[in-house]
Amino acid sequence: MTDRRATLLVARREASERLRQRSFQISTGVTLLIVAAVAVLGGVLGGGGPDRYQVGAHGAEAAAIAAAAQAAAPAFDARLEVRRYRDEASARAAVRDEEVDAVVLASGTVLMLDEPPTELERALQAGGRQVRAGRALRSEGLSAPEARRALDPPPLPVRALDSEGDEDERRGVAYTASLLLYLQLIVYGLWVATGVVEEKSSRVVEVLLATVRPRALLAGKVLGIGLLGLGQLLLIGVVGLGLALASGAIELDGTTLGTLAVVLVWFLFGYALYASLYATGGVLVSRQEDVQSSTTPLTVMLVVAYLLAFPTLDDPASGLARIASLVPFTAPIVMPTRLALGEASVPEAALSLALLAASVALIVPFAARIYDRAVLRMGKPVKLREAWRAAR
């Protein structure tokens, strides 16, 4: 049996045993609920998405007005759907039965159950103006296309000095990305540490080491837990984005999908870095009670990285944000935040990833050696330096 096969066996156990844990299933469910709530609430409270209305029409001109109103609606942040009715009675009935929000009658009267929402009324009025003005223009001798051109000049171009896109939306996505990365790195990092200690404290490690090389055992653990973390992140990302899209809190475009991809890539490298370090923190102690203190520096580092996301959200181009997005220990959270805000250049992102990958390449052999030397040391915590020097 090769090391690779052993690593895969270990990884499969790590992932499948955790998937089976009730606590994991519940926490994933709760996270999904929270993400869903945020995504849906964002749509409802933020008013980010257009409201939808059903509009009925009876008669040819009414239908033309409704169609014009439908075309004009996006300008008022509304969306209309139009239905035609054969006679006035059924059109009136449709309003009463709340089948539609409003009907335009052949007479030109707009009928509603109660006070109309402003954007709906504005859209209908705009439609009415356009149809009636068009008729007036045509009676003055203009052709239909001429009348349309006169009534529908190209909109004035609007350019904001401050930003290009919908800033709030981007900030929302960027913040969510930083929070998810922080949680995912700290939770899965700690899982690696406690998983290592579990094997030491239950002494099963000695049984395992009689058949698996320490490095393969460590690699399998990090890989298994990491794949689980990646899968969970992907699930949360897809569900969250899906719901946010459905509720209209955000719009799907290249940026949003790009952000999801960025989050996954930086998670992968960030996890490789932190998981190796957390494994080191775990292997130096023999009891679960000691994990907390032996991993404190790492947890502090992650909290700092997370806290740096806030000034980054305020000013993603500041010197602090730039540096933090390059330093490998903070980059896994800060760089995706900047990228989600659309405020980091491609070379910057590439440099950040290269530095991160280089530090992973340095840390992994270090962690493997410490693990190798300390994994059978039971009892009081082992000092890092001592573990480094010890013989196997």
Residues lying near another protein in the complex (CB under 8 A) = 1, 6, 9-10, 13, 17, 21, 198-199, 202-213, 376, 378, 391-392
Name the minimum Å distance from CB 183 to another protein: 23
Smallest separation, CB 286 to another protein (Å) = 11
Least distance between another protein and beta carbon 390 (Å): 8
**What residues contact 287, with CB distance under 8 A and at least 6 apart?**
197, 201
What is the nearest approach in angstroms of another protein to the Cβ of residue 1? Answer: 4
Between 191 and 266, name the residue whose CB sits nearer to another protein.
Answer: 191
Residues in the chain: 392
Q: Which amino acid is at 309?
A: A
Of the candidates 264, 219, 205, 169, the one whose C-alpha atom is nearest the C-alpha of residue 8 is: 219
H-type alpha helices, the chain: 3-20, 22-46, 60-72, 88-96, 118-139, 144-151, 167-201, 204-209, 214-247, 254-283, 288-294, 296-314, 319-324, 331-340, 346-374, 384-389
Q: Which is nearer to another protein, 58 or 200 (CB)?
A: 200
Pick the closer one to another protein by CB: 288 or 292.
288
Helix (H) or strand (E) holding 84: strand 78-84
> Minimum CB separation from another protein for residue 226, in Å?
19
Q: In the bound complex, what is the minimum distance in angstroms from residue 21's beta carbon to another protein? A: 8
Alpha carbon distance, N-terminus to C-terminus of the chain: 22
Contact 44, 250 (CB under 8 A): no
By C-alpha distance, which of 69, 114, 283 is closest to 195? 283
CB of 210 to another protein, least distance (A): 4
DSSP summary character for residue 326? T
CA distance 284 to 90: 79
User: Please, which residue, 4 or 52, has the CB nearer to another protein?
Assistant: 4
